[in-house]
Amino acid sequence: MLKVSNLSVSYGPIPALRDISLEIGEGDTLAVVGANGAGKSTLTLAIAGAVRPALGTIEIAGTDITGWLPEKVAFQNIALVPEGRHIFEGLTVEENLLLGMTARKESGSTASAFDEVYSMFPVLRERRTSQATRLSGGEQQQLAIARALLSKPRLLILDEPSLGLAPIMVDTVYTVLKKLKEIGVAMLLVEQNPARIGEIADHVIVLTGGSVALSGRPEILERQALEDAYFGTLKAATP
């Protein structure tokens, strides 16, 4: 479904990603772990078309999308829930959701699409006429995920969806992510909590200094393997 080959990204002279290769199978979940500045957000932005790679290719279901603009990538049914959520100020919950419909190819009524996401996130139905910025952090995260889902993504990219949320809200977000996995949505999930990764991921990569230091099943997140990866004694391990 997603194939990234030898991807490198730089911000001017600053290299952010070096020679990254990864694949996500149909309906699979890949978790991406790494310290601050390791390149996790850059990876999500590069796949979504928001930053241009210097080298390498990105393919979705066999189509080379390298260098495509974000709007065009969105029409390949890839949706990004970026770090910080990017809720539109001055718009209501429902108006924010409507923006998610712009990349939707599937026909059918807006009302039934909204019903579907409202049944996943009942609080959004209750608050649909509220200004989105009045929602709590956890509610805004639900809104950002709901908006992404309205495009009916085959691949959902989530950059730290649980960051800064109360544990109960994190539970809500993960309950929805597990439902999405059950219905076959592939995910690339930046997440730092090994317990959460263990619940949902099929595969994990650890980024260090913009490179893949470790790659394998979620069990690789055991302490020793992580320490080896961070300190560079282990270059790569595949299951």
CB of 33 to ligand ATP, least distance (A): 9
C-beta closer to ligand ATP: residue 34 or 100: 34
CB of 40 to ligand ATP, least distance (A): 4
Using DSSP, state whether 114 is helix, strand or coil: helix
Residue 18 makes contact with ligand ATP by CB under 6 A: no
Q: Please write down the HEC assignment for all residues of 163-226.
A: CCCCHHHHHHHHHHHHHHHHCCCEEEEECCCHHHHHHHCCEEEEEECCEEEEEECHHHHCHHHH
Residue 149: how many other CB atoms lie within 10 Å? 23
Residue 40 makes contact with ligand ATP by CB under 6 A: yes
Distances (CA, A) of 116 to 95, 146, 147, 231: 16, 9, 12, 46
Residue 53 makes contact with ligand ATP by CB under 6 A: no
Residue 14 makes contact with ligand ATP by CB under 6 A: yes
Distances (CA, A) of 154 to 38, 98, 105, 230, 238: 26, 19, 12, 32, 25
The pair of three-digit structure tokens given for residue 159, joined into one six-digit string: 């950059």
**Which region among 32-40, 68-76, 115-123, 139-147 touches ligand ATP (by CB under 6 A)?**
32-40
CB of 192 to ligand ATP, least distance (A): 8
C-beta closer to ligand ATP: residue 151 or 162: 162
* Residue tagged 């608050």 (tokens): 127
Residue 39 makes contact with ligand ATP by CB under 6 A: yes
Residues near 228 by beta carbon (within 8 Å), at least 6 away in sequence: 214, 234
Residue 60 makes contact with ligand ATP by CB under 6 A: no
CB of 202 to ligand ATP, least distance (A): 21
- From the list 4, 16, 87, 157, which residue makes contact with ligand ATP (rule: CB under 6 A)? 16
Chain residues in the site for ligand ATP (CB under 6 A): 11, 14, 16, 34, 36-42
